[in-house]
A and B are shown apart, each in its own frame.
Chain A
Protein backbone atom coordinates (compact mmCIF):
# COMPACT_ATOMS: atom_id res chain seq x y z
CA UNK A 1 0.00 0.00 0.00
CA UNK A 2 1.54 3.39 -0.89
CA UNK A 3 2.72 5.36 2.14
CA UNK A 4 0.73 8.45 1.14
CA UNK A 5 -2.49 6.46 1.01
CA UNK A 6 -1.69 4.78 4.34
CA UNK A 7 -1.17 8.19 5.89
CA UNK A 8 -4.47 9.42 4.49
CA UNK A 9 -6.23 6.41 5.99
CA UNK A 10 -4.72 7.15 9.41
CA UNK A 11 -5.57 10.87 9.16
CA UNK A 12 -9.10 9.96 8.17
CA UNK A 13 -9.42 7.65 11.17
CA UNK A 14 -8.43 10.48 13.49
CA UNK A 15 -10.96 12.87 11.95
CA UNK A 16 -13.65 10.18 11.86
CA UNK A 17 -13.32 9.48 15.57
CA UNK A 18 -14.60 12.99 16.36
CA UNK A 19 -18.05 12.63 14.84
CA UNK A 20 -19.82 11.67 18.06
CA UNK A 21 -19.10 15.12 19.52
CA UNK A 22 -20.65 17.07 16.63
CA UNK A 23 -23.73 19.12 17.38
CA UNK A 24 -26.91 18.12 15.62
CA UNK A 25 -29.53 20.85 15.30
CA UNK A 26 -29.29 23.81 13.02
CA UNK A 27 -32.44 25.86 13.46
CA UNK A 28 -33.83 27.51 16.57
CA UNK A 29 -36.64 25.60 18.22
CA UNK A 30 -38.52 25.45 21.48
CA UNK A 31 -39.61 22.38 23.41
CA UNK A 32 -43.31 23.06 23.98
CA UNK A 33 -44.75 19.74 25.09
CA UNK A 34 -43.57 16.42 26.55
CA UNK A 35 -45.39 13.17 27.14
CA UNK A 36 -43.36 10.24 28.45
CA UNK A 37 -40.37 10.08 26.06
CA UNK A 38 -42.08 12.01 23.32
CA UNK A 39 -41.10 15.65 22.77
CA UNK A 40 -42.84 18.24 20.63
CA UNK A 41 -40.77 21.10 19.22
CA UNK A 42 -41.92 24.38 17.65
CA UNK A 43 -39.45 25.96 15.23
CA UNK A 44 -38.84 29.67 15.21
CA UNK A 45 -40.45 31.24 12.14
CA UNK A 46 -38.13 32.74 9.54
CA UNK A 47 -40.70 35.01 7.92
CA UNK A 48 -42.70 37.85 9.50
CA UNK A 49 -46.08 36.26 8.91
CA UNK A 50 -45.81 32.45 8.77
CA UNK A 51 -48.74 30.36 7.53
CA UNK A 52 -51.68 30.34 9.93
CA UNK A 53 -52.22 26.59 9.76
CA UNK A 54 -49.36 24.75 11.47
CA UNK A 55 -47.44 21.95 9.81
CA UNK A 56 -46.58 18.99 12.04
CA UNK A 57 -43.65 16.91 10.77
CA UNK A 58 -43.70 13.27 11.85
CA UNK A 59 -40.53 11.28 11.20
CA UNK A 60 -40.28 7.49 11.52
CA UNK A 61 -39.56 5.98 14.93
CA UNK A 62 -36.82 4.10 13.07
CA UNK A 63 -33.85 6.50 13.00
CA UNK A 64 -33.77 10.05 14.31
CA UNK A 65 -35.47 13.17 12.87
CA UNK A 66 -32.17 15.11 13.04
CA UNK A 67 -31.55 14.24 9.39
CA UNK A 68 -34.23 16.85 8.58
CA UNK A 69 -32.12 19.65 10.04
CA UNK A 70 -28.55 18.40 9.96
CA UNK A 71 -26.87 21.34 8.26
CA UNK A 72 -27.80 25.05 8.41
CA UNK A 73 -27.71 25.54 4.64
CA UNK A 74 -28.92 22.06 3.68
CA UNK A 75 -31.95 21.62 5.90
CA UNK A 76 -35.38 20.31 4.95
CA UNK A 77 -36.96 21.99 7.98
CA UNK A 78 -35.00 25.16 7.24
CA UNK A 79 -36.41 25.10 3.71
CA UNK A 80 -39.97 24.83 5.03
CA UNK A 81 -39.32 27.75 7.39
CA UNK A 82 -37.80 29.82 4.56
CA UNK A 83 -41.00 29.25 2.62
CA UNK A 84 -43.24 30.50 5.41
CA UNK A 85 -44.34 27.28 7.10
CA UNK A 86 -45.11 27.23 10.82
CA UNK A 87 -43.22 24.03 11.66
CA UNK A 88 -43.68 21.62 14.57
CA UNK A 89 -41.73 18.37 14.95
CA UNK A 90 -42.36 15.24 17.01
CA UNK A 91 -39.29 13.57 18.51
CA UNK A 92 -40.23 9.98 19.39
CA UNK A 93 -37.25 9.65 21.73
CA UNK A 94 -35.35 6.48 22.60
CA UNK A 95 -37.69 3.69 23.75
CA UNK A 96 -36.30 1.70 26.65
CA UNK A 97 -37.28 -1.63 28.20
CA UNK A 98 -40.33 -0.01 29.88
CA UNK A 99 -41.73 0.80 26.43
CA UNK A 100 -41.69 -2.65 24.84
CA UNK A 101 -45.50 -2.99 24.97
CA UNK A 102 -46.18 0.27 23.12
CA UNK A 103 -48.24 -0.53 20.03
CA UNK A 104 -48.77 1.38 16.80
CA UNK A 105 -52.15 2.31 18.19
CA UNK A 106 -50.43 3.84 21.22
CA UNK A 107 -48.16 5.88 18.98
CA UNK A 108 -51.15 7.12 16.98
CA UNK A 109 -53.95 7.52 19.52
CA UNK A 110 -51.93 8.40 22.58
CA UNK A 111 -48.84 10.29 21.46
CA UNK A 112 -49.58 11.66 17.98
CA UNK A 113 -53.13 12.62 18.94
CA UNK A 114 -51.95 14.38 22.10
CA UNK A 115 -49.42 16.38 20.07
CA UNK A 116 -52.02 17.36 17.48
CA UNK A 117 -54.45 18.50 20.19
CA UNK A 118 -51.67 20.51 21.83
CA UNK A 119 -50.73 22.20 18.53
CA UNK A 120 -54.38 23.07 17.83
CA UNK A 121 -54.57 24.80 21.18
CA UNK A 122 -51.14 26.42 20.79
CA UNK A 123 -51.99 27.81 17.35
CA UNK A 124 -55.71 28.47 17.88
CA UNK A 125 -56.56 26.46 14.76
CA UNK A 126 -59.36 23.92 14.26
CA UNK A 127 -57.27 21.61 12.11
CA UNK A 128 -53.59 21.27 11.25
CA UNK A 129 -51.49 20.04 8.33
CA UNK A 130 -49.47 16.87 8.83
CA UNK A 131 -46.34 15.69 7.02
CA UNK A 132 -45.33 12.06 7.61
CA UNK A 133 -42.08 10.49 6.54
CA UNK A 134 -41.65 6.78 5.72
CA UNK A 135 -43.06 4.79 8.67
CA UNK A 136 -44.06 8.18 10.14
CA UNK A 137 -46.19 8.56 7.01
CA UNK A 138 -48.03 5.35 7.86
CA UNK A 139 -48.71 6.69 11.36
CA UNK A 140 -50.04 9.96 9.89
CA UNK A 141 -52.14 8.19 7.30
CA UNK A 142 -53.79 5.98 9.94
CA UNK A 143 -54.20 8.99 12.24
CA UNK A 144 -55.91 11.04 9.52
CA UNK A 145 -58.42 8.22 9.06
CA UNK A 146 -59.02 7.68 12.77
CA UNK A 147 -59.42 11.34 13.79
CA UNK A 148 -60.76 14.34 11.93
CA UNK A 149 -58.01 16.74 12.89
CA UNK A 150 -55.96 16.84 9.68
CA UNK A 151 -56.67 19.44 7.00
CA UNK A 152 -54.02 18.39 4.46
CA UNK A 153 -51.87 15.26 4.45
CA UNK A 154 -48.35 15.14 3.03
CA UNK A 155 -46.50 11.85 2.76
CA UNK A 156 -42.85 11.37 1.85
CA UNK A 157 -41.41 7.93 0.97
CA UNK A 158 -44.35 6.20 2.61
CA UNK A 159 -44.79 2.53 1.70
CA UNK A 160 -48.36 1.49 0.92
CA UNK A 161 -48.04 -1.75 -1.06
CA UNK A 162 -45.46 -4.14 0.39
CA UNK A 163 -45.66 -6.73 -2.37
CA UNK A 164 -44.20 -4.92 -5.38
CA UNK A 165 -41.51 -6.70 -7.35
CA UNK A 166 -38.67 -4.27 -6.65
CA UNK A 167 -39.43 -3.88 -2.92
CA UNK A 168 -36.41 -5.93 -1.86
CA UNK A 169 -36.51 -4.79 1.74
CA UNK A 170 -40.11 -6.08 2.11
CA UNK A 171 -39.11 -9.45 0.68
CA UNK A 172 -36.20 -9.76 3.07
CA UNK A 173 -38.25 -8.64 6.07
CA UNK A 174 -40.72 -11.44 5.33
CA UNK A 175 -38.00 -13.85 6.51
CA UNK A 176 -37.51 -12.17 9.90
CA UNK A 177 -38.89 -14.19 12.82
CA UNK A 178 -40.04 -11.07 14.60
CA UNK A 179 -42.54 -12.58 17.04
CA UNK A 180 -40.01 -15.07 18.39
CA UNK A 181 -37.38 -12.37 18.81
CA UNK A 182 -39.72 -9.93 20.57
CA UNK A 183 -40.96 -12.66 22.91
CA UNK A 184 -37.36 -13.32 23.88
CA UNK A 185 -36.14 -9.80 24.43
CA UNK A 186 -38.83 -7.10 24.20
CA UNK A 187 -37.44 -4.25 22.12
CA UNK A 188 -35.52 -4.36 18.85
CA UNK A 189 -31.91 -3.19 18.90
CA UNK A 190 -31.28 0.02 16.96
CA UNK A 191 -27.78 -1.25 16.16
CA UNK A 192 -29.36 -4.13 14.26
CA UNK A 193 -31.39 -1.69 12.15
CA UNK A 194 -28.23 0.23 11.27
CA UNK A 195 -26.50 -3.00 10.28
CA UNK A 196 -29.58 -4.06 8.30
CA UNK A 197 -29.67 -0.86 6.23
CA UNK A 198 -25.91 -0.92 5.64
CA UNK A 199 -25.97 -4.58 4.59
CA UNK A 200 -28.48 -3.78 1.84
CA UNK A 201 -25.73 -1.88 -0.02
CA UNK A 202 -22.46 -2.69 1.76
CA UNK A 203 -20.05 -1.83 -1.04
CA UNK A 204 -21.56 1.60 -1.49
CA UNK A 205 -22.29 2.34 2.17
CA UNK A 206 -18.98 1.07 3.49
CA UNK A 207 -16.43 0.70 0.69
CA UNK A 208 -17.16 3.60 -1.64
CA UNK A 209 -18.39 5.93 1.06
CA UNK A 210 -15.25 5.72 3.19
CA UNK A 211 -12.96 5.81 0.19
CA UNK A 212 -14.65 9.04 -0.87
CA UNK A 213 -14.26 10.33 2.70
CA UNK A 214 -10.51 9.62 2.59
CA UNK A 215 -10.23 11.32 -0.79
CA UNK A 216 -12.02 14.46 0.42
CA UNK A 217 -10.09 15.05 3.67
CA UNK A 218 -9.05 18.56 2.59
CA UNK A 219 -12.63 19.56 1.79
CA UNK A 220 -13.81 20.85 5.18
CA UNK A 221 -17.38 21.49 4.10
CA UNK A 222 -17.73 17.95 2.73
CA UNK A 223 -16.15 16.44 5.86
CA UNK A 224 -18.49 18.36 8.14
CA UNK A 225 -21.55 17.11 6.24
CA UNK A 226 -20.15 13.59 6.04
CA UNK A 227 -19.51 13.32 9.77
CA UNK A 228 -22.93 14.67 10.71
CA UNK A 229 -24.63 12.12 8.47
CA UNK A 230 -22.38 9.43 9.92
CA UNK A 231 -23.36 10.41 13.45
CA UNK A 232 -27.02 10.28 12.44
CA UNK A 233 -26.58 6.85 10.84
CA UNK A 234 -25.19 5.41 14.07
CA UNK A 235 -27.81 7.08 16.24
CA UNK A 236 -30.60 4.56 15.65
CA UNK A 237 -32.96 4.24 18.65
CA UNK A 238 -34.03 0.82 19.86
CA UNK A 239 -37.58 0.11 18.72
CA UNK A 240 -40.56 -0.60 20.97
CA UNK A 241 -41.01 -4.35 20.36
CA UNK A 242 -44.79 -4.46 20.01
CA UNK A 243 -45.06 -1.52 17.59
CA UNK A 244 -42.13 -2.69 15.49
CA UNK A 245 -43.55 -6.22 15.43
CA UNK A 246 -46.86 -4.81 14.14
CA UNK A 247 -45.07 -2.81 11.47
CA UNK A 248 -43.32 -5.93 10.23
CA UNK A 249 -46.20 -8.39 10.46
CA UNK A 250 -49.26 -6.27 9.57
CA UNK A 251 -47.59 -4.16 6.89
CA UNK A 252 -44.38 -5.73 5.55
CA UNK A 253 -45.33 -9.39 5.90
CA UNK A 254 -49.14 -9.45 5.53
CA UNK A 255 -49.72 -6.28 3.46
CA UNK A 256 -53.00 -5.64 5.29
CA UNK A 257 -53.24 -1.93 4.49
CA UNK A 258 -54.09 -2.33 0.82
CA UNK A 259 -56.04 -5.54 1.45
CA UNK A 260 -58.41 -3.43 3.54
CA UNK A 261 -57.84 -5.77 6.49
CA UNK A 262 -55.94 -3.48 8.85
CA UNK A 263 -57.39 -2.93 12.32
CA UNK A 264 -55.74 -0.63 14.86
CA UNK A 265 -57.20 -0.21 18.34
CA UNK A 266 -60.38 -1.92 17.18
CA UNK A 267 -60.86 0.52 14.29
CA UNK A 268 -60.70 -0.48 10.66
CA UNK A 269 -58.23 1.47 8.56
CA UNK A 270 -60.08 1.88 5.28
CA UNK A 271 -58.08 3.85 2.72
CA UNK A 272 -61.22 4.50 0.69
CA UNK A 273 -62.40 6.74 3.54
CA UNK A 274 -59.34 8.99 3.22
CA UNK A 275 -60.85 12.16 1.77
CA UNK A 276 -58.45 14.97 2.71
CA UNK A 277 -56.11 16.56 0.12
CA UNK A 278 -53.00 14.40 -0.25
CA UNK A 279 -49.53 15.27 -1.51
CA UNK A 280 -47.57 12.06 -2.03
CA UNK A 281 -43.81 12.63 -2.51
CA UNK A 282 -41.35 9.97 -3.67
CA UNK A 283 -37.62 9.72 -4.34
CA UNK A 284 -36.77 8.17 -7.68
CA UNK A 285 -33.73 6.21 -6.42
CA UNK A 286 -35.31 5.18 -3.12
CA UNK A 287 -34.42 1.55 -2.35
CA UNK A 288 -35.93 1.48 1.13
CA UNK A 289 -39.36 2.58 -0.12
CA UNK A 290 -39.31 2.13 -3.89
CA UNK A 291 -41.69 4.33 -5.84
CA UNK A 292 -43.73 1.29 -6.80
CA UNK A 293 -44.63 0.83 -3.12
CA UNK A 294 -45.83 4.45 -2.69
CA UNK A 295 -47.45 5.56 -5.90
CA UNK A 296 -50.28 3.00 -5.70
CA UNK A 297 -51.84 5.09 -2.93
CA UNK A 298 -53.91 6.98 -5.49
CA UNK A 299 -55.76 3.76 -6.45
CA UNK A 300 -56.95 3.16 -2.91
CA UNK A 301 -57.87 6.52 -1.41
CA UNK A 302 -61.20 8.32 -1.69
CA UNK A 303 -59.66 11.79 -1.98
CA UNK A 304 -60.44 13.81 -5.12
CA UNK A 305 -57.49 16.10 -4.42
CA UNK A 306 -54.40 13.95 -4.92
CA UNK A 307 -51.00 15.25 -6.04
CA UNK A 308 -47.91 13.18 -6.72
CA UNK A 309 -44.36 14.55 -6.83
CA UNK A 310 -41.11 12.76 -7.62
CA UNK A 311 -37.60 14.01 -6.87
CA UNK A 312 -34.30 12.66 -8.20
CA UNK A 313 -32.75 11.38 -5.00
CA UNK A 314 -32.68 8.49 -2.54
CA UNK A 315 -34.49 7.66 0.69
CA UNK A 316 -32.24 9.88 2.83
CA UNK A 317 -30.60 11.99 0.13
CA UNK A 318 -33.93 13.73 -0.42
CA UNK A 319 -33.41 15.61 2.90
CA UNK A 320 -29.80 16.66 2.32
CA UNK A 321 -29.46 17.08 -1.44
CA UNK A 322 -28.99 20.76 -2.34
CA UNK A 323 -30.83 20.27 -5.62
CA UNK A 324 -33.87 18.70 -3.95
CA UNK A 325 -33.87 21.15 -1.06
CA UNK A 326 -33.99 24.04 -3.51
CA UNK A 327 -37.35 22.73 -4.80
CA UNK A 328 -39.13 20.35 -2.43
CA UNK A 329 -39.82 22.63 0.59
CA UNK A 330 -41.05 25.38 -1.72
CA UNK A 331 -43.30 22.96 -3.56
CA UNK A 332 -44.78 21.71 -0.26
CA UNK A 333 -45.37 25.27 1.02
CA UNK A 334 -47.08 26.31 -2.23
CA UNK A 335 -49.23 23.17 -2.29
CA UNK A 336 -50.36 23.87 1.28
CA UNK A 337 -51.02 27.55 0.62
CA UNK A 338 -53.31 26.67 -2.28
CA UNK A 339 -55.34 24.60 0.20
CA UNK A 340 -55.28 26.88 3.25
Chain B
Protein backbone atom coordinates (compact mmCIF):
# COMPACT_ATOMS: atom_id res chain seq x y z
CA UNK B 1 0.00 0.00 0.00
CA UNK B 2 2.93 2.28 -0.53
CA UNK B 3 1.24 4.89 -2.67
CA UNK B 4 3.40 7.98 -2.67
CA UNK B 5 1.13 10.92 -2.90
CA UNK B 6 1.70 13.27 -5.76
CA UNK B 7 1.51 16.57 -3.95
CA UNK B 8 -1.24 18.83 -5.14
CA UNK B 9 0.34 22.18 -5.73
CA UNK B 10 -2.65 23.54 -7.60
CA UNK B 11 -3.75 25.58 -4.62
CA UNK B 12 -1.45 28.46 -5.49
CA UNK B 13 -1.55 30.91 -2.60
CA UNK B 14 0.67 33.35 -4.44
CA UNK B 15 -1.99 33.64 -7.16
CA UNK B 16 -4.64 34.19 -4.52
CA UNK B 17 -2.53 36.92 -2.93
CA UNK B 18 -1.89 38.57 -6.32
CA UNK B 19 -5.60 38.71 -7.05
CA UNK B 20 -6.45 40.08 -3.62
CA UNK B 21 -3.71 42.70 -3.62
CA UNK B 22 -4.71 43.71 -7.13
CA UNK B 23 -7.95 45.16 -5.74
CA UNK B 24 -5.95 47.21 -3.27
CA UNK B 25 -3.54 48.61 -5.84
CA UNK B 26 -6.14 49.24 -8.53
CA UNK B 27 -8.53 51.12 -6.25
CA UNK B 28 -5.65 53.04 -4.64
CA UNK B 29 -4.31 53.96 -8.07
CA UNK B 30 -7.72 55.17 -9.17
CA UNK B 31 -8.60 57.16 -6.06
CA UNK B 32 -5.30 58.26 -4.55
CA UNK B 33 -2.70 58.52 -7.30
CA UNK B 34 -2.83 62.33 -7.49
CA UNK B 35 -2.18 62.57 -3.78
CA UNK B 36 1.22 60.91 -4.15
CA UNK B 37 2.29 62.83 -7.25
CA UNK B 38 3.00 65.91 -5.18
CA UNK B 39 6.63 66.74 -4.20
CA UNK B 40 5.75 67.00 -0.51
CA UNK B 41 3.81 64.32 1.38
CA UNK B 42 0.11 65.01 1.73
CA UNK B 43 -1.94 65.56 4.83
CA UNK B 44 -4.55 62.77 4.82
CA UNK B 45 -7.03 64.91 6.76
CA UNK B 46 -7.08 67.36 3.86
CA UNK B 47 -7.96 64.53 1.45
CA UNK B 48 -10.55 62.76 3.55
CA UNK B 49 -13.04 62.62 0.67
CA UNK B 50 -10.75 60.71 -1.74
CA UNK B 51 -9.44 58.46 1.02
CA UNK B 52 -12.92 57.55 2.23
CA UNK B 53 -14.00 56.81 -1.35
CA UNK B 54 -11.05 54.43 -1.68
CA UNK B 55 -11.73 52.77 1.68
CA UNK B 56 -15.37 52.22 0.68
CA UNK B 57 -14.13 50.39 -2.41
CA UNK B 58 -11.97 48.14 -0.24
CA UNK B 59 -14.88 47.39 2.09
CA UNK B 60 -17.13 46.38 -0.80
CA UNK B 61 -15.43 43.01 -1.17
CA UNK B 62 -17.21 41.88 2.01
CA UNK B 63 -20.61 43.35 1.16
CA UNK B 64 -23.08 41.16 -0.66
CA UNK B 65 -26.77 41.90 -0.85
CA UNK B 66 -27.45 38.33 -1.93
CA UNK B 67 -25.29 35.50 -0.67
CA UNK B 68 -24.91 32.37 -2.79
CA UNK B 69 -25.35 28.91 -1.25
CA UNK B 70 -21.69 28.47 -0.40
CA UNK B 71 -21.43 31.94 1.15
CA UNK B 72 -24.52 31.29 3.29
CA UNK B 73 -22.74 28.40 4.98
CA UNK B 74 -20.27 30.82 6.48
CA UNK B 75 -22.39 33.95 6.63
CA UNK B 76 -21.46 34.69 10.27
CA UNK B 77 -17.75 34.54 9.39
CA UNK B 78 -18.35 36.70 6.32
CA UNK B 79 -20.07 39.33 8.46
CA UNK B 80 -17.19 39.21 10.95
CA UNK B 81 -14.79 39.88 8.08
CA UNK B 82 -16.91 42.85 6.97
CA UNK B 83 -16.82 44.21 10.53
CA UNK B 84 -13.05 43.73 10.73
CA UNK B 85 -12.64 45.39 7.34
CA UNK B 86 -14.48 48.45 8.70
CA UNK B 87 -12.33 48.50 11.84
CA UNK B 88 -9.16 48.15 9.78
CA UNK B 89 -10.25 51.05 7.56
CA UNK B 90 -10.66 53.27 10.63
CA UNK B 91 -7.28 52.18 11.93
CA UNK B 92 -5.56 52.90 8.59
CA UNK B 93 -6.96 56.42 8.52
CA UNK B 94 -5.94 57.06 12.14
CA UNK B 95 -2.41 55.67 11.64
CA UNK B 96 -1.94 57.50 8.36
CA UNK B 97 -2.93 60.79 9.99
CA UNK B 98 -0.72 60.12 13.00
CA UNK B 99 2.29 59.39 10.82
CA UNK B 100 1.76 62.60 8.88
CA UNK B 101 1.73 64.53 12.16
CA UNK B 102 4.83 62.72 13.41
CA UNK B 103 6.75 63.66 10.23
CA UNK B 104 6.85 60.01 9.13
CA UNK B 105 4.37 60.30 6.28
CA UNK B 106 3.15 57.62 3.87
CA UNK B 107 5.01 58.47 0.67
CA UNK B 108 3.54 56.10 -1.87
CA UNK B 109 0.92 53.43 -2.48
CA UNK B 110 3.33 50.66 -1.62
CA UNK B 111 3.85 52.13 1.88
CA UNK B 112 0.11 52.43 2.18
CA UNK B 113 -0.17 48.72 1.38
CA UNK B 114 2.28 47.89 4.19
CA UNK B 115 0.20 49.98 6.58
CA UNK B 116 -3.00 48.26 5.41
CA UNK B 117 -1.48 44.81 6.08
CA UNK B 118 -0.29 45.90 9.54
CA UNK B 119 -3.72 47.24 10.47
CA UNK B 120 -5.58 44.17 9.16
CA UNK B 121 -3.21 41.87 11.04
CA UNK B 122 -3.74 43.72 14.33
CA UNK B 123 -7.52 43.72 13.97
CA UNK B 124 -7.56 40.02 13.00
CA UNK B 125 -5.32 39.00 15.89
CA UNK B 126 -7.59 40.79 18.35
CA UNK B 127 -10.73 39.26 16.81
CA UNK B 128 -9.27 35.75 17.09
CA UNK B 129 -9.39 36.09 20.87
CA UNK B 130 -13.17 36.68 20.97
CA UNK B 131 -15.63 33.85 21.50
CA UNK B 132 -17.99 35.19 18.84
CA UNK B 133 -15.23 35.16 16.25
CA UNK B 134 -14.00 31.71 17.26
CA UNK B 135 -17.52 30.32 16.82
CA UNK B 136 -17.97 31.98 13.43
CA UNK B 137 -14.53 30.82 12.38
CA UNK B 138 -15.36 27.27 13.50
CA UNK B 139 -18.50 27.31 11.32
CA UNK B 140 -16.44 28.62 8.43
CA UNK B 141 -13.83 25.89 8.91
CA UNK B 142 -16.57 23.24 8.98
CA UNK B 143 -17.80 24.56 5.62
CA UNK B 144 -14.28 24.65 4.18
CA UNK B 145 -13.60 21.16 5.50
CA UNK B 146 -16.75 19.89 3.83
CA UNK B 147 -15.55 21.43 0.59
CA UNK B 148 -12.12 19.78 0.76
CA UNK B 149 -13.64 16.45 1.80
CA UNK B 150 -15.76 16.54 -1.34
CA UNK B 151 -12.56 16.66 -3.42
CA UNK B 152 -11.08 13.53 -1.81
CA UNK B 153 -11.19 10.05 -3.32
CA UNK B 154 -13.90 7.88 -1.71
Are B149 and A181 interface neighbours, CB within 8 A? yes
B148's partner among A174, A191, A201 (CB-CB below 8 A) is: A191
B149's partner among A185, A211, A234, A237 (CB-CB below 8 A) is: A185
Question: In the complex, what residues of A have CB within 8 A of residue B145's CB?
Answer: 176, 181, 188-189, 192
Are B149 and A189 interface neighbours, CB within 8 A? yes
Q: Which residues of B, 111-154, contact A by the 8 Å Cβ criterion? A: 113-114, 117, 120-121, 124-125, 128-129, 131, 134-135, 137-139, 141-142, 144-146, 148-154
Are B5 and A206 interface neighbours, CB within 8 A? no
Which residue of chain B is the closest to A64 with respect to CB atoms?
A: B7
Are A37 and B1 interface neighbours, CB within 8 A? yes
Q: Which residues of A, 235-254, contact B by the 8 Å Cβ criterion? A: 235, 237-238
Range for the number of chain B residues in contact with chain A: 35 or more
B11's partner among A173, A181, A191, A196 (CB-CB below 8 A) is: A191
Are B17 and A207 interface neighbours, CB within 8 A? yes
A175's partner among B113, B121, B128, B138 (CB-CB below 8 A) is: B138
Which residue of chain A is the closest to B137 with respect to CB atoms?
A: A172
Are B134 and A168 interface neighbours, CB within 8 A? yes
Question: In the complex, what residues of A have CB within 8 A of residue B45's CB?
Answer: none
Are A175 and B142 interface neighbours, CB within 8 A? yes
Question: In the complex, what residues of B have CB within 8 A of residue A207's CB?
Answer: 17, 20-21, 117, 120-121
Q: How many chain A residues touch the partner (CB < 8 A)?
A: 57
A58 vs chain B, min Cβ distance (A): 20
CB contact under 8 A between A172 and B138, given known A37-B1, A195-B144: yes
- Complex Cα distance, B9 from A72, in Å, reads 24
- Complex Cα distance, B110 from A5, in Å, reads 9
CB contact under 8 A between A203 and B137, given known A184-B149, A210-B17, A238-B152: no
Question: In the complex, what residues of B have CB within 8 A of residue A187's CB?
Answer: 152
Which residue of chain B is the closest to A200 with respect to CB atoms?
A: B128
Interface class of chain A by DSSP: helix
CB contact under 8 A between A206 and B154, given known A37-B2, A168-B129, A175-B138: no
Question: In the complex, what residues of A have CB within 8 A of residue B146's CB?
Answer: 181
A173 vs chain B, min Cβ distance (A): 8
Are A203 and B121 interface neighbours, CB within 8 A? yes
Are A206 and B13 interface neighbours, CB within 8 A? yes
Residues of B within 8 A of A (CB): 1-5, 7-9, 11-18, 20-22, 25-26, 29, 109-110, 113-114, 117, 120-121, 124-125, 128-129, 131, 134-135, 137-139, 141-142, 144-146, 148-154
13 A–B pairs (Cβ distance < 8 Å), ordered by A: A1-B22, A13-B14, A16-B14, A19-B9, A20-B9, A36-B2, A175-B134, A175-B138, A181-B149, A204-B121, A208-B117, A211-B117, A234-B7
Given A2-B110, A234-B13, A238-B152, 13 new contacts (CB under 8 A)? A13-B15, A36-B1, A172-B134, A175-B138, A181-B149, A184-B149, A186-B154, A191-B148, A196-B144, A200-B128, A206-B17, A211-B117, A213-B14
> Which 6 pairs from chain A and chain B are nearest by CB?
A175-B138, A94-B5, A189-B148, A192-B148, A203-B121, A1-B25
